[in-house]
Amino acid sequence: MRYFQQKRLVKTFYLIILLFLPLVTHLGFIQLIHGDTYKQKALEQRTLKVALEDIPRGRILDRQGMQSLTMGKKEPRIVLYPQIIRNKEEAIHKLSRIIGRSSEEITPFFNGNSRFLPFSLNNREVKEISELNIPGMMVEDINFRYGEMPLAAHVIGHLGRISEMGTLERLNGLGTKKYTISDLVGKTGLEYFYETQLKAGEPANFTRAYVDVYRNLISGLGIQKENNNDTGRQDVITTLDFDIQKTVEKIMDKRVQRGAVVVMDARTGDLLALASRPNFNPANIVLSLPGEQDTFLDHCTTLYQPGSIFKVVVAAAALEEGIVKPTDTFVCLGEKDHLISCWQKSGHGPITFEEAFAESCNPVFAELGIKLGAAKLIRYARAFGFESQDIIGYPVPKDRRQQLDLIGQPYNLVNSSIGQGPVLATPVQLTAMLNTIVNNGVYIQPRLVKGIKNEKGVYSYHFSLGDSRKVISFETCRELKRLLKLVTLQGVGKEAWIEGFGSAGKTGSAELAQGAEKVNAWFTGYAPNDNPQYIVTVLVKEGISGGTTAAPVFREIMESILSSSH
């Protein structure tokens, strides 16, 4: 009998073990795997917290990874825990007197949640508020994402609230980071393209108040300033040069009301500056030129008729194919020419090809376009990148209007040969085209983003330099460089000549409408002449001509860049 009792006890013991094993396993799983998560949730429930940054988000940095293009700043602000403050009326009265704000303006903040207040403080105010020693009210430095006027606003883009539940669901389905309907997310530019990398799950710096159930500060803990080195945010490292970008934008603010400027490193194809006008401030887009339709348009990546700049492609193809030599002679009859009228209404008369290039003579290039034929012209335009809108690290959607095959349609070849008609290009594409000549016939794909860095400063993703391909021969490039120098030395681009360094390039004047007095004025060029360092393309919308309007802007920008780098 006793044997059977012992046997039943053993079975009962094993049954209890079997029943409790899943529970023990589950508790172990919670403790070992999710212990930190639940510990953090418990901490959040019994403490109050104020982030010491306005937007917990990774930075968008210059090529050195040092300067923030949003020009972020740090300013002292009042950090308020209204739940802790016992005598609110007295605190409101004292604060009102110090910062010169009415009690009515301040009171709502004392009835809300913990936060930092939006009032700027001077040194006196900081000192006097700190001397009040009111538990639950203090002054801390707050990191703000935007300064007074961020650089490269169109490239950076801007933030906005999540406007649709579908967007919220899509973002929450992309990874481990959680979004709420009140979050600020990227709407355009790099802010949009790298949203999930930039977003921080937690603020990097914050103050935490340790309180009991009655919202009394716990003795010995009180309010502490804490740091978090694992917020999940990453930084975007661009190729933009902070000083060059700043120089370009300063000059554009004076001289370009509408248009674009692109600066490229002549060796690597990296984009050192991209600037569009009219401009906007990402910190407050509501106040940015209301009513302006193209305020947020990135003109650097928008298609325009390139005008006579496209003659560089025609010249390259004609020289490469042996259709023309620099000394070949043509006749320009001006507005009476049978193919197309020239900007020089009286005509240039007998003119050599090299003179026609320097003077941007339309009839000569129309004749060359016909000799080349549409098929060859299309092939060379493609080789120069006129159907590749790709920029490394900057996935702007392709504009389907750019269709080089339209050059081959009836009646299009002549206009296409002077950069009108169906020929469209972005300022970035024109810059890459000229860089091909600088690099002795090798096309290099433009790059805007170098990579993504995590919070430890290590690249989590790196974008390599652009792919390259041979487009035209070294001999053709050497001749083109000589012709481009003639444009600035004695041709229509003399306003782009840079004393002490020299320069070379091409003007362009693209008609806006039949009979319109204004044109889209272009100049794209490089400097110095010997060992070129930079390619700069300037577009001034509604200008007089490329030589009159855009070339002087090119000269001022290039002089500023070169003088600061030598």
What is the rounded distance in angstroms from the CA atom of residue 233 to the CA atom of residue 453?
9
Say if 137 falls within a structural domain.
Answer: yes
pLDDT of the residue at 163: 78
pLDDT of the residue at 171: 87
Say if 107 falls within a structural domain.
Answer: no
Domain boundary among 187, 214, 233: 233
In terms of domains, do 183 and 284 share one?
Answer: no
In terms of domains, do 136 and 208 share one?
Answer: yes
In terms of domains, do 521 and 434 share one?
Answer: yes
Say if 198 falls within a structural domain.
Answer: yes
In terms of domains, do 509 and 537 share one?
Answer: yes
pLDDT of the residue at 289: 47
In terms of domains, do 226 and 285 share one?
Answer: no
In terms of domains, do 138 and 284 share one?
Answer: no
In terms of domains, do 181 and 253 share one?
Answer: no
pLDDT of the residue at 34: 44
In terms of domains, do 211 and 287 share one?
Answer: no
And the tokens for 109?
């903040």
Cα distance from N-terminal residue to C-terminal residue, the chain: 104
Residue 292, domain CATH: 3.40.710.10
Say if 20 falls within a structural domain.
Answer: no
Collect all residues with Cβ–Cβ distance below 8 Å to 291 and sequence separation of at least 6: none
Please name which of 40, 37, 43, 68 lies closest in space to residue 53, comparing C-alpha atoms. 68
Please name which of 339, 331, 289, 266 lies closest in space to residue 537, comparing C-alpha atoms. 266
What 8-state DSSP symbol labels residue 284? G
Domain boundary among 233, 261, 294: 233
In terms of domains, do 226 and 249 share one?
Answer: no
pLDDT of the residue at 109: 95
Q: What are phi and psi of 213, to 5 degrees?
A: -65, -20
What 8-state DSSP symbol labels residue 98? H
Please name which of 245, 295, 239, 298 lies closest in space to residue 268, comparing C-alpha atoms. 239
pLDDT of the residue at 294: 72
Residue 196, domain CATH: 3.90.1310
In terms of domains, do 185 and 252 share one?
Answer: no
CB 404 within 8 A of CB 381: yes
* 3 state SS of 78: strand
pTM of the full structure: 0.89
Say if 16 falls within a structural domain.
Answer: no
Is the CA virtual torsion 193, 199, 204, 208 positive or negative? positive
- Extract the residue ranges of the chain whose pLDDT is less than 50: 34-44, 289-290
In terms of domains, do 358 and 468 share one?
Answer: yes
Torsion of CA 195, 198, 202, 203, to 10 degrees: -130
Per the structure, the count of domains in the chain is 2
Say if 485 falls within a structural domain.
Answer: yes
Domain boundary among 233, 252, 278: 233
- Which amino acid, 264? M
What is the rounded distance in angstroms from the CA atom of residue 314 to the CA atom of residue 340?
16
Say if 275 falls within a structural domain.
Answer: yes
CB 150 within 8 A of CB 71: yes
Containing domain of residue 203, as a range?
Answer: 49-86+120-233
Q: What is the CB-side half-sphere exposure of residue 353 using CA atoms within 13 A?
A: 22
What is the rounded distance in angstroms from the CA atom of residue 97 to the CA atom of residue 563?
52
CB 236 within 8 A of CB 198: yes
pLDDT of the residue at 312: 98
Say if 3 falls within a structural domain.
Answer: no
- Count the Cβ atoms, other than its own, within 10 Å of residue 332: 23
In terms of domains, do 311 and 347 share one?
Answer: yes
pLDDT of the residue at 166: 80
